Amino acid sequence: MSLTSSKRFSAPFLWVYALLTVVPLLAGWGYSLHCSLRPLQGISGQPGTWQRLFAPPSEGGEAWQTLSYTFGLSAISIGMILLFALPLSYAFVFNQRNKGLQGWLFLPLTMPPVVAAFAFLALLSPSGFLSRVAYALGLSAGIDQFPRLVNDALSTGIILTQVFLLTPFFTLAFINQAQQENMPALRRAADALGSRRAQFARRIYAPLLLRRSLPLLLLYAVYLFGTYEIPLLLGRSSPRVVTVYITEQMQRFDLSNIPLGHAMAVLYTALVAVLLVFLLSRRAGQIRET
């Protein structure tokens, strides 16, 4: 017996579903691919779009730089988020006195990325709150003396904002996962076997949670790979993240740059799709195993 009625009834819904999920994506991807492959009209003697994109940086090619910068930024952000979220979740799971603080973790979840980026701009910019505190304490002589924390080479502002926005989410996810794994019982067993608390945290708590949360971590790595608003407000003009690169190329007055934006969009979408297929096949394998 079907869920609500006959298969005949559900067929139109499936058509709508396929139409809304597959068709726009394929149509958009196909158009971008077409734009990236067609020769530039009216401009003779120019190399193809893909050649230009993957040319060495000295010849103006930005693909490797943009992709590696975006990848590095996502990896560092995820690493730092884990560095904070794992100990925080441990403190919440094993210390009942901290339960009252758990509600505060929801606060950053109410902030849109645009708002968080602006708040961190007001906090970290050369004329921002931290710079004023440093000036008041005599640690900085003025705006010019304060180290650049936004639009800087190390992308400090971007990383800090992403860590601020996502650490609470991961802490809550780890708390939930730890409860599902019955971590208090595991710690009692580890205690009985003579393990130290630090050993338990390092060898059981963190590896188990990381293993269980791997799909979530990879999904958020994909999300961070496509982040836009925060790097737009807090990043530098070069190197840029993939999303900012794509939109900038497509909105430039120089029309010969538009295919570069499309080529990068094709590349980005293909990378995300490959990662997703890998993730989903892994998940399917896990379901079959259980």
Could you say whether residue 41 binds other proteins (CB under 8 A)?
Answer: no
Of 41-49, 61-69, 131-139, 178-186, the window that binds other proteins (rule: CB under 8 A) is 131-139
Residue type, 64: W
Of 64, 135, 195, 204, which one interacts with other proteins (CB under 8 A)? 135
Pick from 62, 56, 36, 59: nearest CA to 258:
36
Tokens of 51: 């050649």
Q: How far is the CB of 65 from other proteins (least distance, A)?
A: 18
Q: How far is the CB of 143 from other proteins (least distance, A)?
A: 6
Q: What is the rounded CA–CA span in Å between residue 125 and residue 11?
A: 55
CB-CB neighbours of 10 under 10 Å? 14
Tokens of 268: 């980005």
Could you say whether residue 163 binds other proteins (CB under 8 A)?
Answer: no
Of 47-55, 151-159, 199-207, 269-277, the window that binds other proteins (rule: CB under 8 A) is 269-277
Tokens of 30: 């196909």
Q: How far is the CB of 126 from other proteins (least distance, A)?
A: 8
Could you say whether residue 151 binds other proteins (CB under 8 A)?
Answer: no
Residues 51 to 70: which contact other proteins by CB under 8 A? none
Residues 90 to 129: which contact other proteins by CB under 8 A? 98, 101, 104-116, 118-123, 127, 129
Annotate each residue in 205-244 with x if it binds other proteins (CB under 8 A) or - if it does not, as one string. Answer: --------------x--xx-xxxxx--xx--------xx-
Could you say whether residue 270 binds other proteins (CB under 8 A)?
Answer: no
Q: How far is the CB of 192 from other proteins (least distance, A)?
A: 29
Of 83, 280, 282, 286, which one interacts with other proteins (CB under 8 A)? 280
Q: How far is the CB of 127 from other proteins (least distance, A)?
A: 5
Residue with smaller CB distance to other proteins, 28 or 61: 28
How many residues touch other proteins (CB under 8 A)? 81
Could you say whether residue 255 binds other proteins (CB under 8 A)?
Answer: no
Could you say whether residue 192 binds other proteins (CB under 8 A)?
Answer: no
Q: How far is the CB of 122 from other proteins (least distance, A)?
A: 6
Are the C-beta atoms of residues 131 and 125 closer than 8 Å to each other? yes
Residue with smaller CB distance to other proteins, 189 or 278: 278
Could you say whether residue 265 binds other proteins (CB under 8 A)?
Answer: yes
Of 71, 94, 164, 169, which one interacts with other proteins (CB under 8 A)? 164
Q: What is the rounded CA–CA span in Å between residue 201 and residue 204?
A: 6
